[in-house]
Chains A and B, each alone.
Chain A
């Protein structure tokens, strides 16, 4: 039997297991997937928990619900990939051999990378909403919050779901307005980028949106440390910002196992060919999702579009053909903006987010870079699509390659 091994059973790994199980000859191939945890989290849903829109139950399901019957599942932590010997060592000494390996071990928040972040105020008045624990702790905190300075700070690039902090401040603004305390809450958005977002057109649109909502933006702020006694965040250039409650996107890093395996960059993201999705070091290793060091968003939509390219290239590699499919960095992100509205952006390595309609040119129904009610329904509907279609590797009515149809260059 030939062996295909998938490391990580999150969005990316689970999708690939389903696609490959359908395509590979079961007499010939054994598919194994390894993950240390048994629970699958719908990560885009964490954002809604602090505002009581989703509960914990809405975002968790057993991973086993999404694996195809007939693949081998191992729940264990991964110690190391030994690429030269085509093997993976698990915790406790188990050794797995592979013919082809897919790394899909994702990205994790690392609050310990910033001095003072995970200190005495952690989960008392400093929270993240990128973990279920942080989202739930913040939900509890907001129940008793009567006003003050709310600071949303992004520690470092890159981080998962680049629009999530913008959505967070928009949802907070709406939440406090509904609660009748908006005039007592001062909201500040602090980012290491030069504006609300990286790319110029989207940065302007989102910057205007935040200004409209009376949310201050502090740009070019690179977080050095948190002063727990003064309750301030301090930048490398000595600027300080006071907070009563700090919500933070901690530094994001790939799995430590990548470091041990010698496959990653200084943030443990795997060196990956940005078009073929093959490891830069080994021809029989491919990388999918947040674990890769691709210069595009770390997001489920990217993993989804990339999975179609990776699938084609892996099949080519197995059959000894050249890798013809080329990933273009396609990302597609819904942005919740509060009050039942949302915006949408669609972009790739080369093309920044532009206004227009999506997915059908001129029709939509979704409006790109526009703040509309229908975009919000797209996001709400997406949770169902995620659990029922996306994870199971079924066809989605959206092409993997980004298209310019329906977009306006400005």
Chain B
């Protein structure tokens, strides 16, 4: 656990940079976290982030397959929006916990 100053606010994050308190999230924080990774968030990105926050709040578990069927972007587009790891990155910017893949 650590405190990090993002968008002028002190935010509690994990060692990997995920928010530990999802209520501290704001669009500005998302923008700044994404910028650190070299990603400029646009309207499409935010649609995904809002979707993820809504699903997690409803207690749903997330997978790339599921987000790809959300109607916002398919899996290929998700990789273009969040290059490298769509679910991991989008979860970070959405201020929700890092997705756990259980096998």
A interface residues with partner B (beta carbon < 8 Å): 156-159, 162, 192-194, 197-198, 220, 222, 224, 236-237, 265-267, 295-298
Contacts and interface: CB of A to CB of B under 8 A. Distances in A.
Contact of B103 (A157, A222, A266, A267): A157
B101 A236 contact: no
Nearest to B65: A266
B84 A220 contact: yes
Interface in B62-97: 63-66, 69, 75-76, 78-79, 83-85
A109 B83 CA distance: 28
B100 A295 contact: yes
A266 B101 contact: no
Contacts, number: 46
A215 B83 CA distance: 26
B103 A198 contact: yes
A297 B101 CA distance: 10
B61 interface: yes
B57 interface: no
Contacts of B76: 224, 236
29 contacts: A156-B65, A157-B63, A157-B101, A157-B103, A158-B101, A192-B101, A193-B101, A193-B103, A194-B85, A197-B103, A198-B102, A220-B84, A220-B85, A222-B64, A222-B79, A224-B75, A224-B76, A236-B75, A236-B76, A236-B79, A237-B79, A265-B66, A266-B65, A266-B66, A266-B69, A295-B61, A295-B102, A297-B102, A297-B103
Contacts of B63: 157, 266
Contacts of B103: 157-159, 162, 193, 197-198, 297-298
Nearest to A222: B64
A162 B78 CA distance: 26
Nearest to A329: B102
Interface in B33-55: none
Given A157-B102, A158-B101, A237-B83, 19 more contacts: A157-B63, A158-B102, A159-B103, A192-B101, A193-B101, A193-B103, A194-B85, A220-B85, A222-B64, A222-B75, A222-B79, A224-B75, A224-B76, A236-B78, A236-B79, A265-B66, A266-B63, A267-B65, A296-B102
